[in-house]
Structure 1
Amino acid sequence: MENSEARSSQRVRVVVSIRPLITSELGCTDCISVVHGEPLPQVQIGSEFFIFDYVCGSTGSPCSTLYDDCISPLVDALFRGHNATVLAYG
């Protein structure tokens, strides 16, 4: 199992989901922007940039694709005998 798929499946991936503004925030300026960089997307907050493996919401990928893109491959791997963990915070 020394191919690139096996190596990439054995690492920690960090995914951020940016929620839309709530009703009381409408009309406010969004302080988070997504920069679609290569090879990984970045989130800009003020003058700081943070790199993630996957960004959804707020002009990133649609949040509806979060399960299909990030969780479903882990569930499939579980049924093939691999270990997987999903830690959701917030």
Structure 2
Amino acid sequence: MENADSTNCVRVAVNIRPLITSELLLGCTDCISVVPGEPQVQIGSHSFTYDYVYGNAGLPSSAIYDDCVAPLVDALFHGYNATVLAYGQV
């Protein structure tokens, strides 16, 4: 895991899904904004920093596996333990 910090055991990524058609038809708007160039999201006046932010103008969602999961799978074959926990609706 070449670009992982050995002192960082847990990394957290967030994926912000786009609004679906029915939400748009109801007039819903995004309540989460991504800070450009930073792995940080803002919800109202609150900011939250993660290791990775995907979707909604963050990194593309298609990069989640390559960035977050593939290095862990590779590390498994080098004797490391790894867990991927995915939660939420997408």
- Shared topology, TM-score over 0.5? yes
TM-score category by the smaller chain?
A: 0.7 to 0.9
Paired residue for 1:41?
Answer: 39
Paired residue for 2:28?
Answer: 28
Quick check: which one's helix share is greater? 1
Q: TM-score, normalised by structure 2?
A: 0.83
Q: TM-score, normalised by structure 1?
A: 0.83
Aligned partners of 2:47 and 2:28: how far apart in 1? 21
Aligned with 1:7: secondary structure?
A: coil
Q: Aligned residue pairs: how many?
A: 84
Q: Deviations over 1:26-50 (max 9, x none)?
A: 243211100135xx51110111100
Taking a change above 3 Å as real, the CA distance of residues 50 and 82 of structure 1, as seen in their structure-2 partners, is same
Structure of greater relative contact order (alpha carbons < 8 Å, 6+ residues apart)? 2
Aligned partners of 1:6 and 1:33: how far apart in 2? 27
Which ranges of 4 or more aligned residues in structure 1 deviate by more than 3 Å? none
Paired residue for 1:61?
Answer: 59
Structure 1 unaligned runs (5+)? none
Identity %: 69
**2:74 corresponds to which of 58, 67, 76:** 76
Aligned partners of 2:48 and 2:64: how far apart in 1? 19
RMSD: 1.8
